[in-house]
Structure formats: C-alpha cells, structure tokens
Structure 1
Amino acid sequence: MGFINLSDKNPFAYLDQPEFQTQYKQGIDKGYDYLIFCEGMHCSSCVHLIEKLTEYCPGVSEARVNFGQSTVAVTLAPEGSLAKVAQAISELGYTPRLIGSADNIQDKYTQENRTFLKRIAVAGFCAGNIMLFTIPIYAGLSGVWEKAFNAVGLLLFLPVLMYSAQPFYHGTLNALKFRTMNVDLPITIAMLSGFSLSTWNFINGKGDIYYDSTASFLFLILSARYLLKRVQQNYLAPARMETYFKDQIYECMNNDTSRLIPWNLIRPDDIIRIRSGQTLPTDCELLGESATVDSSLFNGESVPQVYSQGMQLLGGTKLLSSPVLMQAKVSFEKSKIGQLFQDLDQKSYQKSHFVGLTERLAQHLIIGVFSLAAVFAIGYSFVDLTVALQRALALIVIACPCALAFGSPLTLGLALKKAQKQGILIKSSNVFEKVLEIKNVFFDKTGTLTTGNLSLTQSVPADLSADLKSIILGLESSSQHPIAFAIRQAWADTTPSSRITDLHEIVGYGVKGQIHGDQYKISTANALDEKSQMAIQVQKNGMTVCHIFFEDRLREEAPAVVKRLHAKGIQTFLLSGDTNDRTKEVAQKCFIPNENALGEMSPQEKFEFIKTHDQTCMIGDGANDSLSLKNASVGIAVKGSVDLSLQYADVYFTRGGLNPLLDLFALAERTRKVLTRTLSVSLIYNLLGGAAALLGFIDPMMAAILMPISSALIVLTSLWGMR
C-alpha cells in the first residue's frame, strides 16, 4: 500500500480555521461531517482509491464515495483535520472542492466541465491539424518537406502531451504510488511510447511516425470520458428539487410592478401571485382571504384543505382554488422543502448492495483484463512484439470497466426520480433491495387503512344557526388541526366571524376566544358517538351549546391492496391503538386475518411485536409510529410531517392512498430487472470486445472509438428499462 506525505506546508491549512469549518460543516442529521467534490473522478478505480482515505489519512473515520455525483462524504474523528483530508485528496490526484450546505453542486460540475472541454478542444485541434500535415506524407511526400511536415506534427503534439493528457498522468502516478490497477496506466504507456518512438524516428530520419494516430487516440479517449461524465451529471446529480419545480414561473408584484421570475430567484418578502394549479416555491404567508390547497407532500393528506388569511403555507403545496397573493417568508434554500430535498440527496451516500457488488466486480475485471493483456503481450511478443503490444492495448481500452461501475448507480438514480414522480420519496436506493425481501407487512389503522381525513357527519342539535357556524369558523380560522380543516371544508360557504378577540389555541386541547365579553371554547367531547371516531363540544360561558361529530372512512383501495400483497405471498397485520372491536372490523373489511388484527396497542407494544418477525415492513403515521418505522426492515410513512417522518422512515408517500405501495413493489422489481440487464450487457460487451481485440480484429484506435459505445449501451439500456 502506498503512503501519502502530508507535509506541514499544507495549501489547505486555512480549512482548519473555525470559520471555515463552520461554513462547510454539514448538519448533525446528515450522517457525515463534510462533503467534498472530487474533480477528476472518472471510474471505479477512483472510487476504490478515494474510499481508502481512512488508511491514507489519519483522523478520517469514514469516507463514502458517491460516484454519480463525484463527491465523497467524510466523517472525521475528534483529532481529524479537514485540511489534511483536502491535502490527501489532492495528493491522490484530484482537485478537492468543499461543499457547504447552501452550495449548489451544479456550479462544481460547470467548473470541471470547462476544464475538461479545454483539454478536449486542444487535443482535437492538434489531432486534426497533425492529420492535415500527415496526409501528404501518406500520399508520397518526401525529402525536406516531409521533415518539415513531421516537425510541425511534433510541435502540434506537444500541447496534447503537456496539457490534454494530464488526467492520465495523475491516474498513472496513483496506480504506481498505491500499487493499484487503472486504465490510465496503459493509456499513458501507449501515448509516451508512441511519442518517444515517433520522436526517435524523426531525429534519425527513418521509421514510422505516429503523432497523428496517438493524438487522435487521446482525443477519442477524452471525448468518451466527457460523454460518460455528462451522462453522469445529467442523470445522477441531485436534481430532485429541479424536477419538482421544472419550468415553474411566478408573477412577482413588488413595488407596484409585475414581472415574471423563475422559482429559484424568489427572495424573502417578495409578493407573488400564485395561479390555480401552481406549486408554492417556498414557505409563504397567505395574503388573500382563503385558499384551498393540496398539501399531501407535507402531511400525507389526500383531501384538499382550506387555509385562511394570515396562515403559513409550506413550499411544495399546490393551490387548487382561484389565484391568490402570498408573501414569501424565506428563500427556497431555507424553506422546509428545500432542506428536505437537500437532505434526501445527501442520504444517497448509503451505498446499495448491488452498487457495491458491481464496484467489486469492476475491480476484479480490471485486474483480470490487465493480467490477460500482460500474459498475451509476453506470449505473443515471441511472434511479433509490435502486434502483441497493439492487441494488448486494444484489449485494455475496449474492456474498460467504467461502464460496468456506472450502470448500477445510473439505474438506481433513475429509479429514485421515477419514484418521486409517482409520489414516493425514498431516503436511499438500498430500499429497493429490501422491498423485494419483505415477507410481513404491518399496517396502522388511522390514516393508513383509513383516510385519516376527518369529515363532519352530524351535529347536535342538527340545525346550527348561521351565526354559531360563523363563530365556530372564526375560532378555528388559524388552526392546523384536522378538525379545523374538516369544519372549513364542510362550511365553505360560511364567512368566519371577525368579532373574535383574545383568540388562543392550546395544542391537543382546543381553542377559545371572546365576543363582546362572552367566552367561547371548543374542546374534545367527553363522550364519543359510537359511529364516529371523534366529537367536539362548543361552549359559551361554560355552557355546552352543541356537539359536532366526525368520522374517518376506510380507504377504497385498502382491500384490493391487501389482496395483492397476499397474492405475493406476504402476510399482513393490523396494529392499532383503537379498540379491539373497531380494529377487527376494519381488518375484516380489508381481508386481514382476524388473528393478525391487534387493537389497543401502544407504540412500544407495536415495536415489540414487529421485533418478533423478520423481513418486515411497517406502514403508518410518521409521528405516532416512529419507533416501529425506524426498526422495521422498511418503514413507510403515509401521514404526518414529511421531514419528521423521513427521520425515522425509509419511504414517504406524497400521493394519497395505498396504491403507491403497489407502485413501490413494481418499481423495485423493475429496478432489479434493469440492474441485471445492464450488468449482463456490460459483461457480454467486454467479453466479445476483448476476444475481438486479442484476435486482431480491433486495433487501439478502433478500441478508442468503440469504448464509448459500451457506455452508450448502458445508458440506453437503463433509460429504456426505466422509461
């Protein structure tokens, strides 16, 4: 194993200053301390090398590489130094760029792409012009002009040698320093050999000169890598938020002027006009009288909810009613949805088992290819040394395992984005593998098998006066409780009273206020109606004036979903805190076996029961069932605050109902098929290409042309499979 000399003269020493550590320190909930973009990462060998930071750099507890995003998530021990980590990455041959919580990784991609394109442009310009001066020589030019044209070829090759080929030198030095295998080593050897042999022949005035073919070879290899890098950035970059707000334009109405701006340029205190069907771009305050919105993304509610003037709405909710004015309270980056998507993207560093498998396979493949090429070169050298070296190089180039290691993260990245479009937020890609192993599914009742959306069923007395309804609406005008939404939904044609003063809401108890000295209070009723799950009482000066009853209906699709699970051989259970009678009644309607329906269970009892089973999935409320969600093999939250739910659950359904559960199973099965297919395509391509190279049907130049085709095949296979 190699050794990194971390000298005292560290150009990154400033990173150990407190202000810089604070700037780049990630949140406690991220699971790591710092996120570093590694410019120059291009293959599985890079991943393997960078993840050995724990061995090369003292003080690093963990280093997890995300090949798709060219980043490494670093966890430091108490004695660890961020400056030494950056220095170690630089010594490994990559350019480290620290990423803060508010930084956009797309900016890092732009910087890297510019450098990459400059190298390609120089190589392409020089290769093209060398060919122009070489064609006359191939046509028979000789004498002084031949030497002059070869001299021009030498001068034009120098920029390729000194500038464009630098990434290959870094990779070669790493291979030699750390005794690893990577494809840069033979490419560098081939390039330097071609240059040295050509220059020797040029000086001595005899033999062949290969400036044109060597420069073209480098140009093609660089172009292939850039193609792979662009696909990687387009499909594996953290773009959940961009896809969620794709092409959204908003009307900003500051200073009595109106202008259209994109979603990501909205700033705090901006007054924006939201049209029906538009999604709020950040957390806002409602300036209009009322608004009906779809807030399923943040609370799992599939039924539209009515908000009143002055209430706070979260970014990501969708306006369903007529256009209204809203005032942005924070920028997108500081909004709840912005922080949510950033958190989800960073949790993608939990490496999938299949990704780890393909990375290990890629390492074994590159060692096998190098060994075979070396054996063939030595053996065939007794027949023809030049042919032996050409075929060995062609084998190494065409059998490059970059596409193999790229296929799995690409497919899983596409699967995560497809899940988002289907209303399924997934914390990490390893969920797909766990879903396919599930044997037992545990349902919560309220909000899971039932809608969780209360509806007003009756009142006592049956006919309430318009004035009393107005007072009740006024008391509940700013409440976020499900009862308040149910009342506003049922009495949408009634105007809330504006006469209420001293309005107070006590969470979990009720609301109270005064009208002209009379004290009004709304609280939970002492006795529940047998047919309803909840009742409230309205009191005036301590005297009850009415009772209002609500019910929670069974989801229409619940029985069909349970039957589909049974068809897959999965056992189903119903665990509820409700009474045993109501629990078994719901279980019977959903075809859950009577012995598997358990009521009057506390969160701790649910957790203890789930622990007695293997390969489990818990589906419930993100708040009330957090303990069970966290400890099940796969935890799925269908209700509750999305950010809190995803602290404990692996999956959150932003689409109402249970149908997303079947979509999740179907997507997991499709993902496995595509992963298997891409792996098979890559291995078959490398096998056939390698055999053709050894048999002499493919030379190094043709291998450089064919190499990107393997990457294109992987991309097309993944895109077609996840379409």
Structure 2
Amino acid sequence: MSVQRTQALAPCFHCGLPVPPGTDYTTIIGGEQKSMCCPGCQAVAQTIVDGGLDGFYRHRDASATTMDSRISSEAHLADELALYDSEAIQAEFVRHTGDEQAEAMLVIEGITCAACVWLLEHHLSQQPGVSQFSVNMTNHRARLVWDPSQTKLSKLFGEVLRIGYKAHPFHPNREEQLLEQENKRAIRRLGVAGVGMMQVMMMAIALYAGALQDMEARFVEFIRWSSLILATPVVLYSARPFFLTAFRDLKTRQLSMDVPVSIAIGGAYLASVWATIMNTGEVYFDSVTMFTFFLLIGRYIEMQARHRTGKAGNALLDLLPASATLLEEGREKMVPATELKPGDVVLVRPGHTLPADGIILEGSSAVDESALTGEYLPISKNIDDPVVGGTINVEHPLKIRITDVGPNTRLSAIVGLLDRAHAEKPVTARIADRVARYFVLAVLITSATVAGSWYFISPEDAFWITLSVLVVTCPCALGLATPTALTAATGTLRQQGLLITRGHVLEGLASATHIIFDKTGTLTEGNLSIQQMQPARELNSINPYSIAAALEQASEHPIARAFHPYFQIPSVNTRVKVNAGVEGEVEGVRYRIGKPSYAAELYQGVTPDQPDHERQWLLLSDDQGPLAWFALDDQIRKDAAFTLNVLKRLGLKVGMLTGDDSSAAARVADELGIETVKQGVSPDQKLAYINELQSNGASVIMVGDGINDIPVLAGARTSIAMGSATDLAKTSADAVLISSELERLALALMVARKTRMVIRENLSWALLYNLVALPLAAMGFIAPYMAAVGMSASSLIVVGNAMRLSRLPRIRRKLRE
C-alpha cells in the first residue's frame, strides 16, 4: 500500500510538488517524458524547453525534486529565479497596467505570525521600483506592484528568499498543495511534541516524588538522561520553527514573539543538558516539552482557522470552467481552459460557461452575465460582440475567438482586487501588532533586569526565575488576541455567504448607525415573476397560463422561468427568436408570446397598446388576434421584511436610495416599512446624501448592486455589494454578499458586534494575565513548569474564546428572538 501511495504522489518534475492522482500533464525534456502536477507547470516547462533553456534541468541535481533541494545551490537558484523574468512565464500570473506598472499575485511560504507579514511588507516595499507589496495573513497570498524597468521580478523573488521566505506564483491548485503540506508538517511536529511531553512529564513526576522520598542517585541520573533523550526530538524538531523564525528576525533586526520563546526553550534545554552531563543543578525538560507542545497547539488551531478561511476565499475562481472545446481545422478538441491562448477559437454550447474573454465569430445568443454584471436578464450577443469569461451562454451555440486569458481577464482582475483588499488590516489589528512588538522588547529588558537582580540576591535561583519570566510573559496571547478573532469571524461570515474584501468591515459593521439600501436587485430579487394576467379577448375554455408555459418551456430566458410553475401541456415545432419571443403549436393551434410587435406578426394585425407602462408586459396571441397580457415585475425578497425589522431592533436607522422614480419605489418602501426614502436620485445625489449623513457623525453601511451604486459604495464608510452586483460594484464595495440573502446582513452585524466584544475580552485577558503573572514570576513564586502551563493556557483561552465566533446557533437564536 505504501509503495502505491508513493507512486501516486510522485513529484512534479518542474516544481517538486506532488502530482495529483488521475492527472496526465507531461512534457518531453531531454528526450524523456516528464510528469507535471498542473497545466501551469506543463506550460512553463514547455516554454523553458522551447526557449533552449532546458540546460537548467540538466544542471539540476537528479535528486532535487523538492523546493528545498532546488535552492540549495546559489548558481542553480540564480538560474531558476531568472526564469521568472521570461514574459512567457510571467503571462500566467503577472498583469501589466497602463502606467508602466506590473502586478503579480504570489503565495508566500514560511509565514508563521503577524510579525512575518510586517517584515515581508517592510522589506519588499523598500526595494527599488516596488510601489506596493501587501500580504494577506489569512491565505498567505501577496500582491506585488512594481516597475519592471527598474527592478526585475527575479531580484524581488530573491529578496523574499533572502529574509527567510519563499515566493511562488499564485495558482489555486498549488496553493492548496502548499496548505496541505503545511498542515502535515504541523501535525507531525505536534505529534512529536505531544508524545515527548507525556513521557517527559511521567519522568518529571517520578523525579519530583524521588526528591521528596530521597531517591537513590543512580535512579535520579537515569531519569535525567531518559528525559534528555525524550526531550531532544521535541526541541530539535518540534520547536525548530521557533528557532528559525527568531534567527531570521534577529538577522533582520526585528523582534517577534518567537525571540523570547526561542530564548526560553533553548536556554532551558541547554541548562538542563549541562545539569544532566555534570550531574548537578536542576533540569527543566518537563517545562521545555510542555511549553513547546501547548504553544504548537495554539498555533495549530489558529492555522486551521486560517486554512478554512483561505479555502472559502477561492469561490470566485470557480466561475471559470476547467475545460473548453477548442476548434482546430474544423475539429473539436477538449482541452484544459488554462491552455487557451489569445487567437484560439472555441465552441461554447448552450448552458456552458465561457472559458475566457473573447469576440463572437459565429452565432447569436443570449448570454447570462449576472455573475459579473448583476443584470438578471441575459444580454443579446451577436457577431463581433465582446463576451466575458465566467458568463453563461443561454440559447444557441457560439464560436468565440479568445482575446484575453489568465491574469488579463476581467474575472482575474476582480479576484486580484479582492486579494489586494484582504491584505488590508483593521486598526485594531495594527495596534495589536505594534503593542506586541514593543511588548517583546519590554519582556527581554525585564528578563535581563530580573536575571541581574537575582544574581546578586540568590545566584542559584537566578536562572529558573528568569526562565519563568521569559515563559510566563511570552506575548503569544496578546499576539493571537486580535488575529484569531478576526480570522474566525471572517471565515464564519464567508461560510455564511458574506465575502469581506476590506480590513475595516468588521469594525464598520459593529459601529454602524445607519444602513441604506438600493432597491432593484437589493431589496427586490432582480428576477421577473408574473404579477398579473389580463385577457385581451373572450377566452372561453382557453387557459392562457398553460399555453404560455408550454411555449416558454423551450426557452432558458429568465422571462421563461416565470412561466415554468404553470407548465401542464407540451408544445411542438417551437422556435425561439432572440430578443423577441417564442412561437409554437399547442394542441394544433399556433401561438406566439413575447414583445407585442412580435406577437402581432402572427395575426398580421395592429400591435395593441399595453395596459400600462409601469411594468413589463408580454402579449400572447394566436392567428386570430391577441389573447392575453402578462405583467412581469420584480418582487421583494422574501427575507427583506424580516431583515429590516432585525436591523431596526439592533438600533440601526434604515433608508432606501433608488434611481427608480416610478410608483414601484413607494410600493416597496411601504411594504417594508422604510420611512426614509429618496427615489429618482442620480449616483451623485446618492453620494451627496451619504456624505451629509457621515459629516453629521453617522456611521453608514451602504448596500447596492448596480453601476449607479459605485460612487456611493466607494464613499460610504462600509459598503456591501449583493452577489448579483456588477463586477465594478463588487470591487468598489468593502464586502460582497455572495448568497444574496439579506438575512445574512443582520447575522453579519451581530457577528461583528460579538467579534468586537471578543477582541476586547482577549486583549483584556492577555494584558491582565501578563500584569499579574509577571510580578509573581519575577518574585520567584512561579516555577518554569507552572509558567509553561500558564502561558499555554492563556494562549488557548484566547484562541478558544475566538473560536466561539465559529459557532452560530446562539447568534441565530438571538436573531430570531
């Protein structure tokens, strides 16, 4: 079984990551067929070979199949990094803007805490040509904006490596593999630490009991050496990341919480080794292993929450299909969508998703762009019209010439903007980071002072008291207080359908005083439904609903969906005319339904006037004349009334801004009980109204979905775009309500308020714990093992308190009360 598993997870010849089972991506290198893990590596490897650079692979050590072994030689490293300067390779993850700037999405390997993020951002931002470098702590993605004419990308990759991290081009599959590898390493380190701690603690209990009962010296020596053997793997393997991070931070003249942690673990271990070898003094192997184990537990829980949040953030990437139908010399060929390039011609059948941006060469159809534009009605597309990847072809086959792929597509631009937004930090997190860094310095100064004082008071107690001070005051709880709460809350809200795209959203939601809604597509569903049927002549036994439903069964248009509940009898010889209507035979009689002019062509008569102009009317006719009118209109969301009542109960003032000046706006406001209504307003007037509220001290949440909402979404302190919003509205907003269920807004508000409370509780507990524990440890009342338990318990309390934000039943009950 183990042999089969090893074969299934053979390393990719290019990047060294495991090749997923069932994949078949290969490239001929040196006359041999080499396996690749994904289309990206296959394309890069083929580019290297085509460019005559395959000597890089020949010079590389045959055993270098992992990322670590590939960077062991400086010469090989320089060759590899130079490959990232190739335009062909950069095409997959670099997007060039119009102002001679380039933007790249990266995944950073080696991040362990907020101090890592600060170090990366501080160091890279100081490099020539770099205008922005921001890192998302949650998913370890980084957004790099730089001037390629000033600095090569390979040099920036080298700078990341020089300070102790590794940068990879962002690819969803590769990111998942890196996260999986990180999780496996963490479990192995935690397992070794846990087993070692349990065994060492048993030895320590025997040692403590022996000291009380005057155990023989030879047994004491045996227990000490046994503890040394058991504790060594814990220190050298499980605690290794702490030492590496502390060394890296000291080398770059930075202070993080890993510095006092490493001093405590390393100092206690070395002192215990000395005491064991010399058979004199105290040993602290139990404190070392316990300290390492509990600290790893806290970090593992935080990592799991971060991984869940990172995976939930990839939802937009799923809009693009995995494959496409490529047309080559008149033949159809299924290829991975990632292998498409500009100029390729693809066939997109009805119901299929467009794989990339392009231009229509043949055919006409309606394209559902609701995922990107928020327009619930499909848009009629004809030859030479542009189409967008991620949208859905609704009615007829289309032949499309690809114009943009990869990072140049509109969908990739949206994802890039969201990742950029995720790198922002709320004010609370930035303050906590600064406090933690100063606190580390204060801990080191205090420890040195305590050591010097006790050296003169009681030299034999100086070491263990100083060790207790270092351990008990480790600022892990303070450093975890804010990030764990924010990560848990953000992950919970993403799972509930609210995608946060700016760092200040939770603070804005928690302190909001007003919430303003757009109408169409926000308070209403944005989907048409039959509001009224009005006969145009005597119907006798004719049922216009069943006839209209029979005709509309042949169409995938959203208008047709309004008739689907009334389907009873089939139609034959049905024909759909794009942007006009449907014609067919029902029980031997030919009918038409659609625009009045189209329906009137069947009986070749005068087009009748529709009953009113407040709603959209469809005409059903036969060859004798018009039969019936159907009024279609948008309907209020089912959860709108409940949500607005909850928001009012939470103390928010609810208003509505809409460009609709018809009676529909007043009807919606009246049904939902909204007293503050501004209708028929322009985008500028919406923004002016919001600015007036905010200038008077209001904290405003704006919820919208259309292009006309973009200025006000950008101007409000906190803005939320509906899941059906336009792509520009989504990128202008601070959060996206992917589920489009308004009830999630009230839930988000309650989660935000609870998050604010949890952060305050965590910070208060962390500071109170250190204020109480530090004097006790400095006076010698806390032994090292007690300090390890207290510090670990403090961190676990903070993490456990934050994890309460992942449990929603209590919040939901309050929502329903």
Instruction: Give the TM-score normalised by the residue count of structure 1.
Output: 0.71
Residues 522 and 198 (structure 1), Cα distance of their counterparts in 2 relative to 1, 3 Å cut:
closer
Residues 609 and 194 (structure 1), Cα distance of their counterparts in 2 relative to 1, 3 Å cut:
closer
SS class of match (1:33): strand
CA–CA distance in 2 between the matches of 1:406 and 1:316? 41
1:65 maps onto 2:135 in alignment:
yes
**Superposed displacement of residue 498, structure 1:** 3.7
**Superposed displacement of residue 458, structure 1:** 0.8
Correspondent of 2:562 among 477, 481, 486: 486
**Superposed displacement of residue 549, structure 1:** 1.6
CA–CA distance in 2 between the matches of 1:155 and 1:591? 72
Match of 1:701 in 2: 785
1:15 maps onto 2:84 in alignment:
yes
AA aligned to 2:658 is S
Contact 2:498 / 2:744 at 8 angstroms: preserved in 1?
yes
1:83 maps onto 2:154 in alignment:
yes
CA–CA distance in 2 between the matches of 1:626 and 1:177? 46
Residues 244 and 374 (structure 1), Cα distance of their counterparts in 2 relative to 1, 3 Å cut:
closer
SS class of match (1:613): helix
**Sequence identity, in percent?**
23
SS class of match (2:578): strand
1:477 maps onto 2:551 in alignment:
no
SS class of match (2:630): strand
Match of 2:669 in 1: 587
SS class of match (1:16): coil
Match of 1:717 in 2: 801
Cα-to-partner distance string for 1:163-220 (whole Å, 9 max, x where unaligned):
56543443343343233333444454456656666676778xx56266x634x44433
CA–CA distance in 2 between the matches of 1:620 and 1:154? 63
Contact 1:26 / 1:101 at 8 angstroms: preserved in 2?
no
CA–CA distance in 1 between the matches of 2:191 and 2:173? 29
Residues 541 and 43 (structure 1), Cα distance of their counterparts in 2 relative to 1, 3 Å cut:
same
1:400 maps onto 2:400 in alignment:
no
CA–CA distance in 2 between the matches of 1:478 and 1:26? 39
Cα-to-partner distance string for 1:380-423 (whole Å, 9 max, x where unaligned):
32112342332232222222222322232322232234334544
CA–CA distance in 1 between the matches of 2:789 and 2:172? 40
Cα-to-partner distance string for 1:525-578 (whole Å, 9 max, x where unaligned):
896545952212357799766432234445576566556555656444333333
- Equivalent residue runs for 1:298-697 within 5 Å: 347-428=421-502, 430-456=504-530, 457-461=532-536, 463=539, 465=542, 470=547, 473-474=550-551, 477-481=554-558, 483-489=559-565, 491-500=566-575, 503-506=576-579, 510-511=580-581, 522-523=594-595, 529-530=611-612, 533-538=615-620, 546-554=628-636, 558=640, 562=644, 565=647, 570-579=652-661, 581-593=663-675, 596-614=676-694, 615-622=699-706, 625-638=709-722, 640=724, 646-653=730-737, 658-697=742-781
**Superposed displacement of residue 698, structure 1:** 2.0
CA RMSD of superposed structures (Å): 5.0
Match of 2:40 in 1: none
SS class of match (1:112): helix
SS class of match (1:536): strand
CA–CA distance in 1 between the matches of 2:191 and 2:157? 29
CA–CA distance in 2 between the matches of 1:55 and 1:298? 33
Cα-to-partner distance string for 1:610-665 (whole Å, 9 max, x where unaligned):
34432333333345534433433333334635866533333444556643333332
Residues 398 and 106 (structure 1), Cα distance of their counterparts in 2 relative to 1, 3 Å cut:
farther
- Equivalent residue runs for 1:274-289 within 5 Å: none
Residues 682 and 124 (structure 1), Cα distance of their counterparts in 2 relative to 1, 3 Å cut:
closer
Unmatched 5+ stretches in structure 2? 1-73, 316-334, 338-349, 354-368, 377-388, 393-405, 598-607, 808-817
**Superposed displacement of residue 24, structure 1:** 4.3
- Equivalent residue runs for 1:180-195 within 5 Å: 180-189=254-263
AA aligned to 2:595 is S
Contact 1:574 / 1:583 at 8 angstroms: preserved in 2?
no
CA–CA distance in 2 between the matches of 1:589 and 1:129? 68
Contact 1:127 / 1:157 at 8 angstroms: preserved in 2?
yes
Cα-to-partner distance string for 1:132-168 (whole Å, 9 max, x where unaligned):
99989984345xx999998898888876776565434
Residues 420 and 528 (structure 1), Cα distance of their counterparts in 2 relative to 1, 3 Å cut:
farther
SS class of match (1:237): helix
- Equivalent residue runs for 1:237-256 within 5 Å: 237-239=307-309
CA–CA distance in 1 between the matches of 2:314 and 2:268? 51
AA aligned to 1:399 is T
SS class of match (2:760): helix
- Equivalent residue runs for 1:156-167 within 5 Å: 166-167=240-241
Report which stretch shifted further, 424-433 or 566-575.
Answer: 566-575
SS class of match (1:454): strand
Contact 1:476 / 1:484 at 8 angstroms: preserved in 2?
yes
- Equivalent residue runs for 1:127-138 within 5 Å: none
Instruction: Give the TM-score normalised by the residue count of structure 2.
Output: 0.64
Contact 1:65 / 1:349 at 8 angstroms: preserved in 2?
yes
CA–CA distance in 1 between the matches of 2:164 and 2:266? 19
1:233 maps onto 2:315 in alignment:
no
Contact 2:467 / 2:784 at 8 angstroms: preserved in 1?
yes
Contact 2:572 / 2:584 at 8 angstroms: preserved in 1?
no
Match of 2:280 in 1: 208
SS class of match (2:563): helix
Contact 1:461 / 1:547 at 8 angstroms: preserved in 2?
yes
Residues 575 and 67 (structure 1), Cα distance of their counterparts in 2 relative to 1, 3 Å cut:
closer
CA–CA distance in 2 between the matches of 1:440 and 1:201? 66
CA–CA distance in 2 between the matches of 1:37 and 1:128? 34
CA–CA distance in 1 between the matches of 2:521 and 2:636? 9
**Superposed displacement of residue 231, structure 1:** 0.9
